[in-house]
């Protein structure tokens, strides 16, 4: 995963300009842009405004609000000039993405109050593609961006949307309330979803997107810089679970997988997360592992405490549990220090009978 989005932003802006520039001689002010309330001219200006706003967030790096500025176009600016502005602001966003360190996060309201460089790139690509579609619909022009570009957006900021591998553009339109998909109810409300990050004293627990999970499962880094010996086998296995859940439409980012990244050097040391969303009784299973060179330093305990507190603060979560091999004394110490206790033998026996729990595993739980 070497491209964190700069190339994708440029590709999306080029796709936008390729449609808009030949149509610059038409009336954009008097034509509504698709299903929007805006006209085509206002929508084109909005694309440029969003691109420069995202670049500003990455450059200014505010953590609690938008950088308070906006662009205005000179009087007499023609439609072709607006396309120039879109290309210029797209270039600025691409440059900001390429020059921003991977650990930087800046404010964005949806849904976890921040985004990294890849998130802002994906949002910029989405704005360019979707609003170009809106303008094209208003002007009666055909428009279909590259499938790979649509998939790139979906796997980064729409992790909760079940993909249609043969129709990524239709899926993106449906996911943003702009089209229909067979077998799915139309959407009237929607949000994209940047990854969740949980802070601890020495670590950040960074939510893994479907794109990063697929890369990890295939033997890549997931876009993280790992210490020697990482990622460990369990992290790659967990990434495979995320990919499967995403493909089934069952993935929910806050109940997915997180990579443990050290604050001191930005390097990844392990993985932690859930085996799925809480069940009807409010129970969720947790799991974790560390690269061998990161063990014995309290990282797993610190991460598990933070993740547990985040989860148990939710109204619909009553209990977290973990299944640990009875011979794995280090993991047993981690789970105990994080506030988990061994369940009764009767509950353990019931789990074996109902859920085919392996005889070598012991159950530990922490209640809300």
106 forms beta bridges with 115
Residues 30 and 167 placed together within one structural domain of the fold: yes
The last residue of one of the domains, among 142, 175, 208, is 175
Whether 1 has a pLDDT exceeding 90, the answer reads no
Residue 187 within a domain: no
Residue 329 within a domain: yes
The pLDDT of residue 335:
95
CATH number at residue 259: 3.40.630.30
Residues 83 and 217 placed together within one structural domain of the fold: no
Residues 142 and 202 placed together within one structural domain of the fold: no
* Of 4-8, 78-82, 199-203, 355-359, minimum mean pLDDT range: 355-359
Residues 317 and 260 placed together within one structural domain of the fold: yes
| pLDDT band (50, 70, 90) for residue 2 | low
The pLDDT of residue 354:
59
What pTM does this model have? 0.94
Residue 89's domain comprises 6-175
| pLDDT band (50, 70, 90) for residue 345 | confident
- Closest listed residue to residue 299, CA positions, set 257, 259, 253: 259
Q: At what angle do helices 117-139 and 147-157 cross, to 10 degrees?
A: 130
Residue 186 within a domain: no
Whether 192 has a pLDDT exceeding 60, the answer reads yes
- Encode pLDDT of 257-302 as tens digits: 999 999 999 999 999 999 999 999 999 999 999 999 999 999 999 9
Whether 222 has a pLDDT exceeding 80, the answer reads yes
**Order of strands across the sheet with 203-207?**
197-199, 203-207, 257-262, 268-274, 283-290, 319-325, 361-367, 341-342
Whether 348 has a pLDDT exceeding 90, the answer reads no
The pLDDT of residue 351:
66
Residue 189 within a domain: no
pLDDT > 90: percent of the chain: 90
- Encode pLDDT of 25-37 as tens digits: 999 999 999 999 9
Residues 54 and 139 placed together within one structural domain of the fold: yes
The pLDDT of residue 349:
75
| pLDDT band (50, 70, 90) for residue 118 | very high
Residues 304 and 157 placed together within one structural domain of the fold: no
Whether 330 has a pLDDT exceeding 70, the answer reads yes
The pLDDT of residue 3:
67
DSSP summary character for residue 22: G
Residue with tokens 């700069």: 6
50 forms beta bridges with none
Q: At CA 283, angle to CA 277 and CA 288, rounded to 5?
A: 70
Is residue 39 within 8 Å of 33, Cβ to Cβ? yes
DSSP summary character for residue 207: E
Is residue 222 within 8 Å of 232, Cβ to Cβ? no
Give the count of domains, the chain: 2
Estimate the share of the chain in helix, then strand, then coil, as percent rounded to the nearest 5: 45, 15, 40
| pLDDT band (50, 70, 90) for residue 358 | confident
Rg (CA), the chain: 23
Residues 167 and 203 placed together within one structural domain of the fold: no
Average pLDDT of every residue of the chain: 95
Is residue 16 within 8 Å of 47, Cβ to Cβ? yes
The pLDDT of residue 355:
62
- Kind of pairing, strands 283-290 and 319-325? parallel
The pLDDT of residue 91:
98
Residues 32 and 125 placed together within one structural domain of the fold: yes
Q: Where does residue 8 fall: left (phi above 0), alpha (psi -120 to 50 degrees), or beta otherwise?
A: alpha
The pLDDT of residue 225:
96
257 forms beta bridges with 273
Is residue 17 within 8 Å of 121, Cβ to Cβ? no
Whether 66 has a pLDDT exceeding 60, the answer reads yes
The pLDDT of residue 346:
77
């Amino acid at each position: 995963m070497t491209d964190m989005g700069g190339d994708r932003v440029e590709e999306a802006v080029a796709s936008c300009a390729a449609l808009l520039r030949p149509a610059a001689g038409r009336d954009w002010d008097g034509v509504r842009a698709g299903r929007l309330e805006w006209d085509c001219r206002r929508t084109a200006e909005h694309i440029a405004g969003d691109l420069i706003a995202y670049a500003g967030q990455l450059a200014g790096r505010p953590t609690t609000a938008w950088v308070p500025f906006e662009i205005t176009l000179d009087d007499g600016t023609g439609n072709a000039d607006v396309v120039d502005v879109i290309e210029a602001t797209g270039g600025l966003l691409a440059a900001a993405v390429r020059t921003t360190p991977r650990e930087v996060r800046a404010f964005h309201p949806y849904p976890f109050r921040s985004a990294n460089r890849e998130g802002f790139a994906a949002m910029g690509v989405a704005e360019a593609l979707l609003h170009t579609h809106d303008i094209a619909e208003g002007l009666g022009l055909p428009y279909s961006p590259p499938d790979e570009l649509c998939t790139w957006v979906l796997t980064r900021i729409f992790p909760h949307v079940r993909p249609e591998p043969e129709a990524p553009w239709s899926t993106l339109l449906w996911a943003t309330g702009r089209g229909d998909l067979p077998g799915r109810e139309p959407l009237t409300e929607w949000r994209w979803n940047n990854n969740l990050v949980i802070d601890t004293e020495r670590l950040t627990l960074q939510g893994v997107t479907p794109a990063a999970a697929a890369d990890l499962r295939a033997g890549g880094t997931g876009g993280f810089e790992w210490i020697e010996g990482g990622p460990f086998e369990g992290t790659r296995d967990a990434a495979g679970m995320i990919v499967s859940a995403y493909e089934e439409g069952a993935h929910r980012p806050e109940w997915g997988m997180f990579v443990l990244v050290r604050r001191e050097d930005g390097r990844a040391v392990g993985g932690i997360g859930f085996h799925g969303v809480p069940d009807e009784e409010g129970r969720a299973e947790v799991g974790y592992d560390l690269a061998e060179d990161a063990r014995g330093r309290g990282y797993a305990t610190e991460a598990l405490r933070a993740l547990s507190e985040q989860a148990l603060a939710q109204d619909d979560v009553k209990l977290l549990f973990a299944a640990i091999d009875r011979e794995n004394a280090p993991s047993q110490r981690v789970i105990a220090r994080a506030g988990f206790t061994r369940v009764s033998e009767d509950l353990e026996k019931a789990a074996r009978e109902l859920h085919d729990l392996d005889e070598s595993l012991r159950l530990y739980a922490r209640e809300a």
